[in-house]
Amino acid sequence: MHNQDPQNQTSQQQMSVVTLGVADLTRSKRFYVDGFGWRPVFENEEIVFYQMNGFVFGTWLKDRLAADSRREAGGSAGFSLGHNVATEQAVDTILARLASHGGRLLRAADAPPHGGRRGYVADPDGHAWEIAWNPAFPISPEGYVTFGL
């Protein structure tokens, strides 16, 4: 059920857009389009948007994003983004494909203490992506991941 009450928007748990600052859109598109296989829904000379399942993911030239948000263009070591997959084998496959399309392997796939399989790859701008298979996090046919216990 969607909350349509504009007075109650702060209690709605949702994310609309995630935008990463990048140095080179062509290099970034190689990673996201050729590596992940995603397709842009909008692009111009400074930004690319991809429609995800429930939100929009964007890559924007780092200096333009910094100017728009009125802050310094800083590093990205304080967070990682996650891409869950449906099978254990897909973790290694996707890590290899991303690395061959401009990514840098940060951590080879292994089994974390809580189970499943995961590895990390950085996009061409150093943004960390965890590629994970977690049998407790079901993925719907539409690609929606549900937190499971």
Shortest CA distance to 102 belongs to which of 24, 1, 4?
24
In the prediction, which pLDDT does 1 show? 45
Q: Which domains does the chain have, with CATH numbers?
A: 16-67+80-133 (3.10.180.10)
In the prediction, which pLDDT does 87 show? 93
Where the chain has pLDDT below 70, the residues are 1-14, 69, 73-78, 149
Give the single-character DSSP code of 139.
Answer: B
In the prediction, which pLDDT does 76 show? 59
In the prediction, which pLDDT does 90 show? 95
In the prediction, which pLDDT does 54 show? 83
> Residue 97: helix, strand or coil by DSSP?
helix
Provide CB contacts within 8 A for 108, sequence distance 6+. Answer: 95, 119
In the prediction, which pLDDT does 12 show? 62
